[in-house]
Amino acid sequence: MSFDPLVPLGTHNGPVQPLMPHLAAERSVPDPEALQQLVATRGLDAAGDMICHALVQLACRQQAILAAHRACQFNRICAEARRMAAIATQVGMADLARVAGDAMACAQRDDPVALGAVLARLGRLCSGALTGTYHAAETGGG
């Protein structure tokens, strides 16, 4: 099958394959050892409440980072990314914490191209954290 620039993408006679399927599957779920430690120190109910609160806060921080990015407020991006990294660390989401740190570094060095790429990854990880944690809780495991 050849490429026809006049035919809209996705309308050919075959299944549409994602361009980068590994990107859609990126998730950051809490580390099981960190969760066990959290439950051991706080108890099951308090740990569950803390994780739920952390997920809400991560979503809020993500929205604040995107708003700051649209407004070109790089100091605010740094502050929100620092908060996000701290929250992610508390609940054992090391990947999310690291990428939030990367966002902070890109904003500090005023690198808009790298910042855009890192914020896209941060968005995928946040989305994956919310859905991954929800699905793990729903199925009874990670």
From residue 104, give the alpha-carbon distance in Å to each of 19, 49, 122.
28, 28, 11
pLDDT of residue 98: 95
The tens digit of pLDDT for each residue in 101-142 reads: 999 999 999 999 999 999 999 999 988 887 766 555 555 554
The tokens describing 47, both together, are: 């740990």
- SS3 label, residue 25: coil
In the predicted model, what is the mean pLDDT of the chain? Answer: 82
Q: From CA 35, how far away is CA 50, in angstroms rounded?
A: 11
The tens digit of pLDDT for each residue in 29-57 reads: 778 898 899 899 999 999 989 999 999 99
pTM of the model: 0.74
Q: From CA 136, how far away is CA 11, in angstroms rounded?
A: 35
Tell me which of 87 and 11 has the higher pLDDT. 87
Tell me which of 21 and 33 has the higher pLDDT. 33
Proportion of the chain above pLDDT 70, given as a percent:
73
